[in-house]
């Protein structure tokens, strides 16, 4: 079986090759492309049984249709989020779409907490100051987290892991999620979004990007937040109306912002643009605030997570090939879960 990996970085190759090598009778031939999958590059999937993609590959209906035309039968996401794939088009063309739903929720939660800690105690500024021989404390004043209220939007695996850590800090945790979970109920109380926003000293986003959550943080919802609120987004950039967030940073209604994701990230993130003039004025404005941290979508990036991502992605395709079903399938129509033409091997 031929698997074409798009947006493949050296670290992807390292972990996928290692995962493939542990499969004794492996028949998966992996081809790595360091560029993303798009309408311009989809022709390179020709002859592949499956493609493996990441968060910034764009699989709209035209790309999905082209994949089907090239004979590809499965789209393997090596991430949890799937907002970049047109699932309806995949179902229409009979392609399996599978993701890695839970490779390390703690990795992302720990990163969200690292952002909270950095922003709150200004360690990003202290690091630079001390290197310049400046040991003054003015401007580094933080707030004790113990006793503060953390509002979690989305209490799935990552939201609950974040809530658990913040509870350990002595914070009060509250949450909004249209589908409440028993795991969160052990940590704190559910609220409506309208109740959560004015009560929270820190708001951390952990819901997926969907039509219903796009720009869930906007001018109106920001106005309901506590003045000086700290806003953390490790989920997807499209959850924020970034222009509204910039206005709120300028007016000081938002007192601190940490982003691991950005709405326009696909043309920049995961590559070195340090020798270029970056044209995205919104992103560049964000980087000028001393109380805004922007990272390049790295919350997932731990050794343990990369290992599990590679293992689970290969397990997904093996399971589908051998049994005709895949428990991590995101496509609804059961008839597409059996593709007799896909090469079947004994494992």
Q: Which residues bind ligand NAI (CB under 6 A)?
A: 80-81, 102, 105, 108, 153-159, 176-179, 206-209, 212-213, 234-236, 260-261, 297, 299-300
* Catalytic annotation, pick one of 265, 308, 315, 339: 265
Closest CB to ligand NAI among 212 and 346? 212
Pairwise CA distance, residues 150 & 163, whole Å: 8
Closest CB to ligand NAI among 90 and 196? 196
**Hunting for tokens 């805004």 — which residue is that?**
292
The least distance separating ligand NAI from the CB of residue 59, rounded to whole angstroms, comes to 15
The least distance separating ligand NAI from the CB of residue 158, rounded to whole angstroms, comes to 3
Pairwise CA distance, residues 22 & 8, whole Å: 20
The 3 state secondary structure assigned to 86-136 is CHHHHHHCCCEEECCCCCCHHHHHHHHHHHHHHHHHCHHHHHHHHHCCCCC
Closest CB to ligand NAI among 62 and 114? 114
The least distance separating ligand NAI from the CB of residue 108, rounded to whole angstroms, comes to 5
Pairwise CA distance, residues 164 & 286, whole Å: 29
The least distance separating ligand NAI from the CB of residue 79, rounded to whole angstroms, comes to 6
The least distance separating ligand NAI from the CB of residue 322, rounded to whole angstroms, comes to 26
Element (H, E) at 52: strand 50-53
Pairwise CA distance, residues 121 & 126, whole Å: 9
* Catalytic annotation, pick one of 78, 91, 236, 339: 236
The least distance separating ligand NAI from the CB of residue 148, rounded to whole angstroms, comes to 21
The least distance separating ligand NAI from the CB of residue 107, rounded to whole angstroms, comes to 8
User: Coil, helix or strand for 78?
Assistant: coil
Nearest to 84 by CA among 38, 123, 131: 38
Q: How far, CA to CA in Å, does 288 sit from each of 262, 269, 284?
A: 15, 18, 7
Burial group, residue 129, by CB count within 10 angstroms (0-12, 13-18, 19+): middle
Active site (annotated) includes residue 199: no
Pairwise CA distance, residues 268 & 42, whole Å: 20
Closest CB to ligand NAI among 59 and 261? 261
User: Coil, helix or strand for 31?
Assistant: strand
Closest CB to ligand NAI among 206 and 339? 206
Element (H, E) at 193: helix 193-199
Pairwise CA distance, residues 133 & 157, whole Å: 42
Active site (annotated) includes residue 106: no
- Comparing every residue's Cβ against ligand NAI, the nearest one is 156
Closest CB to ligand NAI among 120 and 155? 155
Closest CB to ligand NAI among 102 and 144? 102
- How many Cβ atoms sit within 10 Å of the Cβ of residue 87? 17
CA torsion angle 239 243 247 248 (round to 10): 10
User: Coil, helix or strand for 48?
Assistant: coil
Instruction: Give the residue numbers annotated as catalytic, written as ranges.
Output: 236, 265
């Amino acid at each position: 079986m031929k698997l074409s990996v798009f947006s493949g970085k050296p670290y992807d190759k390292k972990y996928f090759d290692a995962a493939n090598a542990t499969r004794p009778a492996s028949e998966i031939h992996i081809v790595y492309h360091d560029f993303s999958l798009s309408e311009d590059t989809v022709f390179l999937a020709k002859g592949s049984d499956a493609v493996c993609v990441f968060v910034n590959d764009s699989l709209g209906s035209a790309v999905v249709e082209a994949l089907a035309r090239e004979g590809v039968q499965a789209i393997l996401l090596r991430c949890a989020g799937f907002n970049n794939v047109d699932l309806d088009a995949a179902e229409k063309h009979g392609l399996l779409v599978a993701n890695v739903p839970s490779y390390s929720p703690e990795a992302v939660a720990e990163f969200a907490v690292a952002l909270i800690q950095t922003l709150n105690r200004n360690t990003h500024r202290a690091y630079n100051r001390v290197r310049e021989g400046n040991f003054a404390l003015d401007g580094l004043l933080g707030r004790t987290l113990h006793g503060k209220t953390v509002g979690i939007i989305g209490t799935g695996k990552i939201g609950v892991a974040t809530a658990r850590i913040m509870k350990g800090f002595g914070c009060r945790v509250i949450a909004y999620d249209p589908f409440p979970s028993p795991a969160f109920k052990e940590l704190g109380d559910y609220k409506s979004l309208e109740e959560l926003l004015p009560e929270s000293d820190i708001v951390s986003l952990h819901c997926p990007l969907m039509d219903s959550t796009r720009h869930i943080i906007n001018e109106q919802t920001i106005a309901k937040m506590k003045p000086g609120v700290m806003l953390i987004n490790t989920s997807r950039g499209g959850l924020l109306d970034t222009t509204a967030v910039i206005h709120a940073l300028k007016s000081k209604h938002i007192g601190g912002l940490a982003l691991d994701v950005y709405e326009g990230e696909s043309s920049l993130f995961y590559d070195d643009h340090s020798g270029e003039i970056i044209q995205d004025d919104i992103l560049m404005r964000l980087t000028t605030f001393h109380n805004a941290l922007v990272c390049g979508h790295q919350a997932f990036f731990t050794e343990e997570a990369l290992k599990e991502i590679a293992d689970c992605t290969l397990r997904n395709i093996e399971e589908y090939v051998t049994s005709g079903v895949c428990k991590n399938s995101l496509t609804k129509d059961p008839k597409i879960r059996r593709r007799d033409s896909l090469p079947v091997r004994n494992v």
